[in-house]
Structure 1
Amino acid sequence: MRFPHGHLAYCTNIHPAEDWKTTFQAISTHAMKVRDLVAPDEAFAIGLRLSSTAAKELLRGDELPAFNDWLATKNAYVFTINGFPYGDFRAGSFVKRNVFRPDWADPARLEYTKELFTIVSQLLPEGIEGSVSTLPGSFKEFQADESAIRLQLIELATFLDSLAEVSDRDLHLGMEPEPRGHFENTEETLRFFDRLLDDAPDHELIKRRIGINYDCCHFALQYESARDSLTALRGEGLRISKIHLSAALALDPRIPGAVEAVSKFDEPTFLHQVLARHPDGRIERYTDLPEGVASLGTDTGADAEEWRVHFHIPLDAEPAPPLASTRQNSLDALALAREVPDLCQHWEIETYTWGVLPQELARPVEEQIAGEYRWVLAGV
């Protein structure tokens, strides 16, 4: 849907679906119910999540034209696709580090992303940009060959420029920094793009087609404010491709009961990275929540004064004390957009954890998403 800062959707990665048939069923049921709750009389934007399997199936035969026709009958449209999770992304599955596979050193990631752009370029209404979000190159533990990552991104930028000319649509990739990703904070992101630009024969091509998917949860985990990090990224001429409105868990692990409370969010599907800040400003990073809990029994971890935990919390539902959330970072991004009208045209609510939320935060999925829309629109 249109809102004062551009286009707003929610990401359909909240609905478990790995093939196109199941993906379409989720859209035609859940997404339409959310539309009826939030904006029944407006054109409703759908933030697609397509696995590699679903993307290939959608490109076969007349599936894509048929989906386009369906969108028209429902007064709905697509402006963005989440292309971070290539494969299985379902509650009950073992996703964890696998969400970073294949990484950008693997040709399979490049081909998948080209398929997603081929799809979105054919779904875009006239005059609307098209974006795809993706992982931050790789995962630090993988020790990926960054030169291969940069080479494939340059190839993608060239592909996008040609596709944009043919489709008459502005197309751009948003790389999404995440804790323990190949680049995860503002400084690492800037230095990665410096190296990418050094490799690229055409700097303007890269800046036009490759940008940042700014996830408010992920940067809050780094103890970085939306205002400071977005300003720094834009100051280096990087495109803000899309902004994910999202929130992480926050707590003081010294408070009695806090670690016990956050341990309820430990579950086997997704990574829940922990960033622990110490009184001297040092930040220790743990790849998953159990590692963070174990650190409290060590000399390096015992004096942490704050934790931020990568578990996407519904924007409109603060967890009970002694836990809190970082949703202020999403409000700060919206506030910056009021001051900087060209900040970003693509916004997406991205709370994908519905299937693994503790019982006290659980609601019917459509009600949760509608509540998040209302929260966002109240903050505009």
Structure 2
Amino acid sequence: MRFRHPDGSTVHLSYCTNVHPAETLDGVLAQLRDHCEPVRKRLGRDRLGIGLWLAKDAAHALITDPAALRGLRAELDRRGLEVVTLNGFPYEGFGAEEVKYRVYKPDWTDPERLAHTTDLARLLAALLPDDVTEGTISTLPLAWRTPFDDTAAEAAHTALATLAERLDALEELTGKSIRIGLEPEPGCTVETTADAIRPLTAVATPRIGICIDTCHLATSFEDPEAALAALAAAGVTIPKAQLSAALHAEEPHLPEVRTALAAFAEPRFLHQTRTRTAAGLRGTDDLDEAVAGRALPDGAPWRANFHVPLH
């Protein structure tokens, strides 16, 4: 959906499709039919923005077959849907029974991440509505925190610089500007917005900025106003925001609270858990580690990276 900001610009609100995993182009088309169009009709809108997730196989099918890409765009139009953003974080297997750490592969030290993101940018430029000239893609925040040394950091920097050059060339060719947002996530090399400032100012291009995920922001106990001010002061752009809430346990020392939290521990995804102490953030990689014993101090509230709908 489109909204008019007080400054006169257009704000796009999109329904993210990676909550309905599909690895193939046929699966993506089924998402449009079974989920996205019904949501649009329920809202009573003529058009609904969707944030597509195109897994490796779906992206490959589209990038190698212009007719399939034209068919996808026609299907979007027929169902009253439009695409201005892609979720480029998961690469494949996001609907597997166990994802956990695999969601961070390939990372930005792997040439395949650059190739896949380049393909996504080309696809998004072709899918943007005729009256829209800018699109965004969210991606993983460089890599999981280990192993990540100076050599890995240099490889990631080089990949991002190359991507920025390709995005420049894509705009010259198509007239469409595609921007990338690294999505800070607990446990990653870029865990907080503050962690993002150094690598992004090193790349020094407005093409690549930050995707603010409000669940991740909350899990790391970041103050939104302070985080946004620091990014603005550093000249880091925010091409995209993803809106959801995190789990918050005010009194994690209580047995009934532990029991309630344990119900959210599940085998598919990591649910990094954090608490704020006088010495800084303390955390575990997953929720079950936190609730099972004394891995975290429980004298202050806990927050877990479990994406809760805002309603």
Q: TM-score under structure 1 normalisation?
A: 0.76
CA distance in structure 1 between the partners assigned to 2:199 and 2:175 by the alignment: 30
Pick aligned residue for 2:109 from 95, 105, 109: 105
Would you say 1:127 and 2:126 are equivalent positions?
no
**Aligned ranges 1:312-327 → 2 under 5 Å:** 312-316=307-311
Deviation at 1:294, TM superposition (A): 4.0
Q: CA deviation at 1:282?
A: 2.9
SS in 1 for 2:196: helix
The answer (yes or no) to whether the contact 1:81–1:133 under 8 Å persists in 2 is yes
Structure-2 change in CA distance of 1:282 and 1:115 (3 Å) = same
Contact 2:265/2:287 (CA < 8 Å) preserved in 1? Answer: yes
Q: How many residues matched?
A: 301
Aligned partner of 1:94 in structure 2 is 98
For the Cα contact (< 8 Å) 1:82–1:134, is it kept in 2?
A: yes
Measured in 2, the distance between the counterparts of 1:48 and 1:120 equals: 9
CA distance in 2, matches of 1:165, 1:77: 23
Q: Per-residue displacement from partner, 1:328-374 (whole Å, max 9, x unpaired)?
A: xxxxxxxxxxxxxxxxxxxxxxxxxxxxxxxxxxxxxxxxxxxxxxx
Return the letter of the residue paired with 2:247: L
SS of equivalent to 2:306:
coil
Q: Distance in 2 between matches of 1:307 and 1:215?
A: 18
Residue of structure 2 in register with 1:272 after alignment:
271
CA deviation profile, 1:110-152 (whole Å, cap 9, x unmatched):
0000110010000112334111110000000232511000000
Does the 8 A contact of 2:133 with 2:175 survive in 1?
A: no
Identical amino acids, percent of aligned pairs:
38
Distance 2:180 2:215 in 1: 19
**SS of 1:312's equivalent?**
strand
Other-structure match for 1:190: 197
CA RMSD of aligned residues (A): 1.5
1:151-198 CA-to-partner distances (Å, cap 9, x unmatched) read 00000000000101111112100100000111111221112223x23x
Which structure carries more relative contact order (alpha carbon 8 Å, separation 6+)?
Answer: 1
SS state of the match for residue 22, structure 2?
Answer: coil
Match status 1:63 vs 2:61: no
The 1-side partners of 2:193 and 2:63 are apart by 36
The residue number in structure 2 matching 1:305 is 300
**Residue in structure 2 matched with residue 173 of structure 1 by the alignment:** 180
Q: Offset of 1:85 from its aligned partner?
A: 0.2
| CA separation of 1:187 and 1:157: change in aligned 2, threshold 3 A | same
Distance 1:284 1:95 in 2: 24
* Unaligned segments of structure 2, at least 5 residues: 6-10
Q: What amino acid sits opposite 2:304 in the alignment?
A: V
Structure 2 partner of 1:13: 18
The DSSP-based 3-state class of the residue aligned with 1:183 is: coil
Of residues 163, 167, 181, the one that matches 1:156 is: 163
Equivalent position of 1:54 in the other structure:
58
Contact 1:253 1:305 in 2 (8 A): yes
Q: Scaled by the length of structure 2, what TM-score is found?
A: 0.92
Structure 1 residue 291, shift from structure 2 partner: 1.9
Q: CA deviation at 1:314?
A: 1.5
2:223 is the alignment partner of 1:219: no
SS of equivalent to 2:107? coil
Give the secondary-structure state (helix, strand or coil) at the position aligned to 1:180. coil
Deviation at 1:276, TM superposition (A): 1.6
Does 2:2 align with 1:2? yes
Counterparts in 2 of 1:43 and 1:147: CA distance versus 1, 3 Å: same
- In structure 2, what is the Cα distance between the partners aligned to 1:53 and 1:128? 26
Moved more, 69-78 or 19-28: 69-78
C-alpha distance in 2 between matches for 1:14 and 1:150: 30
Q: Distance in 2 between matches of 1:134 and 1:106?
A: 14
Q: Give the letter for the 1:210 counterpart.
A: I
Structure 2 residue identity aligned to 1:100: Y
1:240 is paired with a residue of what secondary structure? coil
